[in-house]
Structure 1
Amino acid sequence: MDVELAHEIEAAESEYLRSRVENLAGVSGNPYGARVFFNADFPCFQVNASPSPMFNRIYGDIVGDPLAVLKLLTESAEHSTVTPLIGKPSALEQYAFVGEARLERLRGWTHLQFACAIEKVVLSRHSFEIEEVTSKTLALFADVHAGGFHTKPEHRLLNQASFAGQTPNGRLKIYVLKAEGTVVAGASMYLASNGIAYLGTAATRKDARGYGYHGGLISHRVEQAKKHGCHWVASTALANSQSRRNLERAGLTASHAQALYRLTDS
């Protein structure tokens, strides 16, 4: 495992997720209780209205300053905050220890992180109609995304709002793919400050799967990332998923595994 590259990928993903929390915090009156705070130089974030591990994360130097991470996990335990640990898949066990505290790995939240130098990505040819979202198509993207990830009805507006800000610096990009004029798939990309284009969430309507839309969205985002001067492209996927196969087909290879851990009561 290339440790330096792994940390760069993790930093890019963290920036992407933080941007979505910042979008929520920017909603008038902050109705979702979203906030970004710091552990030394590590931005952490929390969303009171959402239990999702995507939006409630503590980052820090687990090796050099584990007690600072533990302190924040303890203070925010009521919001079910998590901290990501990385390594080879076989090294991420069910329990981990930070100081004297025991952390438990969340079921279903162990993913592989993939990466590739952008000039080595294998782009697929396609004729799909793909465009950047507008105020008119954002809700359509959010509907496809919510359906693909089984978002509960009470969290759908929150989920849409997390994409709505589009970040003042323009780093968050969202695309929709249309078939016969109808939005059937969509995906996000974050242009991280370290030069990595992080291919964020992607979803395809259930009745539109199997047509290569996800592969088309990968190629389109990489093409856009090249135009923005990115040097690397990275993404995440479950080990046994079609997303993994599509990423590998595009030339991305597994860098490391990431698992999310939560403080246990004992």
Structure 2
Amino acid sequence: MQGLFPEGTLEQVNQKQTLLRTWLACLLLTSLLLVGELDLQSSAVAEDSPGHGSFPLEAAAKPAIGHIAGIKLSIPHKYLLSGVHYRGEEVWTKSKTAPPPRTFDSEIQDFSLLLRQSTLRPIETEQDWADYRAYGRTAFPRPENRWLTMSFYPDWYTANGGKLKAVRDRYMKDEPHWGPFTSKDEKVFGLNHAVSIKREEEKSFYLDADELFYDDITWNTFISCSNYHRAVQPFDPLSFCRHVFVLEELNVVVELDCTKDDLSRWHEFELAIRKIALSFVVK
């Protein structure tokens, strides 16, 4: 069965994920979740994207505009994590030429948003900005000062007909570093549950997923979680989850980074993010 990614790119994606493992580990250990200092200075990033580099944002700042599958979008500055990646342009290298003027004919390849975990609202006040900067500078953020990052991928949607069953299947087939997994009888917060038979010390990498949660009716929601213990005192249990869901109205798959403590709010997150994303649609 075709995977989540377009045919011919899955191996490249797996290689990319392997290269990112070390980076992601450092990211989680320091909680540096792309604070304003992130430097994606390429032509692929919206020319007037704020990147949350300062506060307040300019009152006259233009929204990032473009389209996904012909659906016109206008994304306000306050929601954007860094910018918008437009089709056909490089993200990680700075272009020597200025990007072309953006219109609703500009195709969006992906974009990322930032929301406060407790309120599911973007940076709107000077206090929000100060809180976000403080969050990125500590490995132990206050419970009320956690932030969620999420990315929107149209390619993931079109690659597999807008369903996530193939993602679950890859985990259950005992792919390298993934599982094998066994299904549990009881659902968790309305989602099917499967767990890896590997013990923590048997994982090839401590962030390898060892729990899966998914909706086997719609196949619109899939969450993979990694459970591990901090490598230094107090050696307490930690978790990292990758929450993926289908947003059919925009022909995208949304990827949300969270923790297992957020699991009970999975449906709330999806509803809130859907409402926000649909507010970007230009009729």
Give TM-score scaled by structure 2 length.
Answer: 0.27
Higher relative contact order (CA 8 A, sep 6+): 1
Which one has the bigger strand percentage? Answer: 1
